């Protein structure tokens, strides 16, 4: 069974802080994704990566960056957190673009 | 680009059938996914349709018409645990574009 693990379920940070969200998958998947999910706006793609050290912007990359130094790990970075980045963040992985994405449990991030 | 539409919310009674529609516009079609998401949890994969027709998986079935840009998810013999959001999604390059989700509320 595919396991996608996000480092925290709940996180509270302050405005201006640098925030790291970590995601690890155990199925040797090529593709990894970071989404945020907000009421009424659905799932929106922030960044994705299709190989180590490769990244592509999704639909809402502003204010975020990512790092993929190892195949199994994909990190989302909020360079200077702002209150409008309070959200549920979901990480996912897939072996191929036409295979299902498998999601982690999510991190509910609050920026105060 | 991609555009996906699905109803925001539906209500049904336990034991009944509910059909969740999804219409999409995409440049280049590579199939359509359905996911289920319970409140506060991660989405989980339900089905993937790439050919026209109906695919059945127990109480859940998914239908696709490529010529009409239309899919539906059919939930039969509804149970309380089926109360969740249902998301349709289409591949676009290496990523998925999701619809806004349909929240299904099952009442006793």
Is there a contact between A42 and B87 if contact means CB atoms under 8 Å apart?
A: yes
Count of all residues that appear for chain B in the document: 108
Question: Do the bridges between strand A87-94 and strand A31-38 make them parallel or antiparallel, or are there none, so unpaired?
Answer: antiparallel
Residue in chain A lying closest to B1 (CA): A59
> B44 and A103: CB-CB below 8 Å?
yes
Inter-chain contact A106–B44, Cβ cutoff 8 Å?
no
A83: pLDDT strictly greater than 90: yes
Q: What is the pLDDT of residues A17-57, one digit of tens each?
A: 999 999 999 999 999 999 999 988 889 999 999 999 899 99
- pLDDT interval class at B26 (50, 70, 90): confident
Closest to A6 in 3D by CA, of A109, A99, A111, A110: A109
* Three-class secondary structure of residue B9 per DSSP: strand
What pLDDT, on a 0 to 100 scale, did the predictor assign at position B2? 67
pLDDT in the model for residue A60: 95
pLDDT the model gives residue B18: 97
Phi and psi (nearest 5°) for A91?
-105, 145
| pLDDT of B1 above 70 | no
Q: What is the mean pLDDT of residues A76-88?
A: 97
Average pLDDT, chain B: 93
Question: Residue A68: left if φ>0, alpha if ψ -120 to 50, beta else—which one?
Answer: beta
pLDDT digits (tens, 9 = 90+) for B51-97: 999 999 999 999 999 999 999 999 999 999 999 999 999 988 878 88
Q: Are B52 and B68 in contact (CB under 8 A)?
A: no
């Amino acid at each position: 069974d595919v396991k996608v693990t996000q480092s925290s379920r709940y996180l509270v940070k302050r405005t201006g802080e640098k925030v790291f969200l970590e995601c690890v998958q155990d199925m040797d998947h090529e593709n990894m994704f970071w989404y945020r999910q907000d009421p009424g706006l659905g799932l929106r793609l922030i960044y994705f990566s299709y190989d180590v050290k490769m990244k592509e912007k999704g639909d809402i990359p502003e204010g975020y960056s990512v790092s993929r130094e190892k195949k199994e790990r994909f990190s989302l970075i909020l360079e200077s957190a702002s209150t409008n980045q309070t959200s549920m963040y979901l990480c996912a992985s897939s072996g191929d673009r036409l295979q299902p994405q498998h999601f982690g449990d999510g991190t509910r991030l609050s920026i105060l | 680009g991609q555009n996906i539409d699905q109803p925001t919310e539906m209500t049904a009674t336990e034991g009944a059938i509910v059909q969740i529609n999804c219409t999409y516009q995409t440049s280049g079609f590579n199939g359509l996914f359905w996911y289920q998401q319970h409140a506060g949890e991660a989405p989980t994969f339900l089905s993937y349709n790439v050919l026209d027709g109906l695919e059945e998986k127990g109480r859940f079935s998914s239908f696709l018409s490529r010529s009409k840009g239309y899919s539906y998810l059919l939930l039969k013999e509804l149970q309380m645990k089926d109360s969740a959001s249902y998301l349709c999604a289409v591949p676009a390059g290496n990523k998925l574009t999701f619809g806004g989700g349909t929240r299904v509320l099952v009442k006793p």
